[in-house]
Amino acid sequence: MRNARFAMMESRWLSVGLLLLAGIIGLAGNVQAQTLLFDKFEQGSAPAGWREVLNVTAVTATPTETPTATATSTETPTATTTPPTANTETPTPGIPVITTAQGGSTIVSGVSDPNATPGNNCITIFSCGVDTICGNGDDVLLGTGSVDASGRFVVTVSQLQPGERIYPRDTCTNRMGGAFTVGSVAPVPLLGPLAVLLLTASLGLLGLWRKPRPASSCR
């Protein structure tokens, strides 16, 4: 009798221990170990009536985190080319410059800002006057002419004097050129030795050709 009571108490304490062990395993989420334990009990290893006492249902583990796909940027950088800015600066007009003016001549030539308009009369030639100071009140107008599309001008003026100081003014661009000193009268070129020899020979031949012939005597 005592052994039977002792065996019953041992069976109850074993059931309580198994219950505690099943609870610990369930809390830990070890579903596989719990399933093996239940299989062992169903095979007859557990005391009679343990399923009614425990009334344990299978625990299904549920994942607590949902994997989230992270998008990876596949954008390709595109180089943007900025077109060069057009140059909007206004070019500075050219200053008129005299290149040729000779004493005794009536022609003044030079260069200035190009102008393709025919007969534009942009160029005016002035004499600096007696005081030879250009741009003051005693300047004398010598002539007016046009500049072509290449920027060249040829102006007819009053007869120039050697050493006279003159200057151009472009009235179309309102710019004044620098002073130019008129050169001396171009000297007559001297004859070279060969030219002198040829001239002498020509004159000699001309004298011989014109020499009178002696009159023939009559018998």
- The percent of residues above 90 in pLDDT, for the chain, comes to 37
- The whole-number pLDDT of residue 143 equals 97
Other CB atoms within a 10 A radius of the CB of residue 26 amount to 17
CATH 2.60.40 for domain 97-181, yes or no, is yes
- The whole-number pLDDT of residue 216 equals 56
Strand partners, 33: none
- The whole-number pLDDT of residue 197 equals 76
- The whole-number pLDDT of residue 113 equals 94
The token pair that represents 213 in the structure block: 């012939």
Mean of pLDDT values over 3-10: 67
Instruction: Please provide the DSSP assignment of 28-90 as one string.
Output: HT-HHHHHHHHHHIIIIISPTTHHHHH---PPPP--S----PPP---PPP---PPPPPP--PP
* pTM confidence score: 0.47
Asked whether the predicted pLDDT for residue 63 surpasses 70, the reply is no
Domain ranges for the chain, please list them: 2-54, 97-181
- The whole-number pLDDT of residue 198 equals 80
- The percent of residues above 70 in pLDDT, for the chain, comes to 48
More confident residue, 16 or 183: 183
Spatial contact of 111 and 97, defined as CB atoms under 8 Å apart: yes
- The whole-number pLDDT of residue 42 equals 59
Strand partners, 154: 109
With cut-offs at 50, 70 and 90, classify the pLDDT of residue 103. Answer: very high
Q: Which residues of 153-180 are buried (b: 16+ CB within 10 A; e: fewer)?
A: bebebeebeeebbbbbbbebbebbbebb
- pLDDT, one tens digit per residue, over 167-212 is 999 999 999 999 999 998 765 555 667 777 787 777 776 666 665 6
Mean of pLDDT values over 124-132: 93
- The whole-number pLDDT of residue 56 equals 47
Asked whether the predicted pLDDT for residue 33 surpasses 80, the reply is no
More confident residue, 13 or 25: 13
With cut-offs at 50, 70 and 90, classify the pLDDT of residue 95. Answer: very high
